[in-house]
Structure 1
Amino acid sequence: MAEHVHGTMETGAQEKTYAGFVAVTKWSVIFILAVLVFLAIVGA
């Protein structure tokens, strides 16, 4: 089995996936807060 050298792994795909996850989470929270504010204003 080949020896692993610390710091040599290609992490581009993981970084891109994580950035996408953070973006989706951010926009989901913004959307949910907007809906809650709308419901509070309308009085539902």
Structure 2
Amino acid sequence: MATKHRPEHHSDVQVESPMDYAQHEATYNGFITGTKWAVIGLAASMVILYFLIQP
């Protein structure tokens, strides 16, 4: 037999602190810049290795 439960009262919604958009954008831009330079470095390494390995 099912029991009837009364709905529980929930506490008020807690609003979290606002996000620091300036810091978020600085971190994102740093990540994008690092990724860009990593891709450029890998491409340069591949070109250098191609000319070193070629007889």
* TM-score normalised by length of structure 1: 0.75
- Number of aligned residue pairs: give it: 40
Separation of aligned partners in 2, 1:35 and 1:14: 31
Gaps of 5+ in 1: 3-7
More helix by share: 1
1:13-41, CA deviations, whole angstroms, 9 ceiling, x for partnerless residues?
A: 00000000000000000000000000001
Identity of aligned residues (%): 36
TM-score by length of 2: 0.61
